[in-house]
Structure 1
Amino acid sequence: MGSQAIEAHREGAEVYRGAALCAEKAVELLGGTQMPRGLLPLAEMEEVGYNRATGFVWLRQKKSITHTFKQISRQVSYAAEVTAFVEDRRMKRMTGVKTKELLIWVSLSDMYIDKDDPSKINFKTPTGLGRTYPVEAFAKEDDGKAKLPAAAAAAANGKETAVNAKAGK
């Protein structure tokens, strides 16, 4: 299904090739949609495409990989092709991403950061079940920074200050 969708959205898309350029563009895409920069730790990417008109994104890598997000002790599997429709703070109708729950792999179809609480990221399955984790758990490992975009960090700090003020701190 991924390859057919990619071909359907290829016309008018920005397409990048080469591991270094693809890694840079994937991080740029995540930053542009205010998503955590370490959310897609894909290795050896061969192609990244983004059709701005439809919001469709695809990432192709040489082979599927499994990554463990250490802060939350979660394994996530990324197929050789990962696709999604992106919006501000959201990736929906995703393909190629699974997480391990107990002993089975479960597909993820949606991930988003709620505007009311930018410190949490929500993940949903096609059946509607979901989990919420701290955004910091998906920070890009090589830079050590939290992945809250500047605007979201300011909003989170403002919310924290308001809570502290109410508590008399």
Structure 2
Amino acid sequence: MSLISDEMKSESEVYYGDEICQVKSQELLEEMCLPKGLLPLKNIIEVGHHRETGFVWLKQKNSITHKFEKIGKVTSYATEVTSYVEKVIFMLNPPTGKITFQTPAGLSRTFPVSAFEIEEKSSGVKEV
């Protein structure tokens, strides 16, 4: 059962197909100043963003499990991933290079941002 009503969908930016959905999910993460590797979803069939409320959804063909190698943590992503996003300004000076995840109950965990960044694929050409 989907959490997205037809009314909400009609008032949202909605995209279909893996190629455009990958681009839009990356743009959203970048817009929110989050690491681009935070949502390593595959075969995304739909991405939507209701800007007025901040509600975001991503639908993929199959649920996946992903291991963030740099921190040794495994995360599961269901076929439908939903969230409310809002831009909260909080800056540390100097920047710490860490990201903190917090549950509604107030529990939190902090990890290095680098653990969630997309590793650039090398072209096989080495500059000397």
Normalising by the residue count of structure 2, what TM-score does the alignment of the two structures yield? 0.83
1:115 aligns with 2:114: no
Structure with the larger helix share: 1
Q: CA deviation at 1:115?
A: 2.1
1:15 CA drift (Å) = 0.4
Contact 1:69 1:137 (8 Å CA) reproduced: yes
In the alignment, structure 1 segments of 5+ residues that lack a partner are 90-112, 145-169
The match for 2:105 is 127
Residue identity (%): 50
Is 1:21 aligned with 2:48? no
Q: What amino acid sits opposite 2:64 in the alignment?
A: I
The answer to whether the Cα contact below 8 Å between 1:60 and 1:81 also exists between their aligned partners in 2 is: yes
CA contact (8 A) 1:114 1:121 kept: no
Greater strand content: 1
**What is the aligned length?**
119
The higher relative CO (CA closer than 8 Å, separation ≥ 6) is in 2
Distance in 1 between residues matched to 2:46 and 2:26, nearest whole Å: 13
Q: Which runs of 5+ in 2 are unaligned?
A: 123-128
Alignment partners' CA distance in 2, 1:118 and 1:24: 28
Q: 1:53 to 1:23 in 2, by over 3 A?
A: same
TM normalised by structure 1 equals: 0.64
Q: Distance in 1 between matches of 2:77 and 2:121?
A: 22
Is the CA contact (8 Å cut-off) linking 1:9 and 1:56 kept in structure 2? no
Alignment of 1:10-159 (within 5 A): 10-88=9-87, 114-116=90-92, 117=95, 119-142=97-120
**Displacement of 1:142:** 4.0
Instruction: Give me the whole-angstrom Cα distance separating, in 1, the residues matched to 2:18 and 2:49.
Output: 16
